[in-house]
Amino acid sequence: MSDYVKPAVILFLVIIAAGIAGGFLAADRGRRVAGWCLLCALFPPFLLLLYVARPLLEVEGMFRRCLKCGELIKWRSTFCKFCKSEVTRYRK
């Protein structure tokens, strides 16, 4: 048994980790998980882009639409930062 880990193995683990992180970030922002998973695995800098990206869809527990202006706001916020109107709590 050797304690030496081949650089290729480390690189592989980094790629997998970046892919998984990208997948979770994409899911949180209502974006396509598979595509972002692959993109982040191949080009990890895209993780940053995804991190600051605005959501595209409503994601339960993360983002919802303002009923007045239709912009996506944080799930728990009580007012819309775009039209400054008060938003009632989301009811299913």
Q: Judged by CB, which is closer to Zn ion: 15, or 62?
A: 62
Q: Judge whether 30 and 54 are in contact, CB under 8 Å.
A: no
Cα–Cα distance for residue pair 58/72, rounded to 1 Å: 7
Q: How far is the CB of 52 from Zn ion (least distance, A)?
A: 21
Q: Judged by CB, which is closer to Zn ion: 38, or 66?
A: 66
Burial 50-73 (b: 16+ CB within 10 A, else e): beeeebeeebeebbbbbeeeeebb
User: For residues 32-91, which are near Zn ion according to CB under 5 A?
Assistant: 66, 68-69, 80, 82-83
Q: Judged by CB, which is closer to Zn ion: 6, or 54?
A: 54
Residues found near Zn ion in the complex (CB under 5 A): 66, 68-69, 80, 82-83
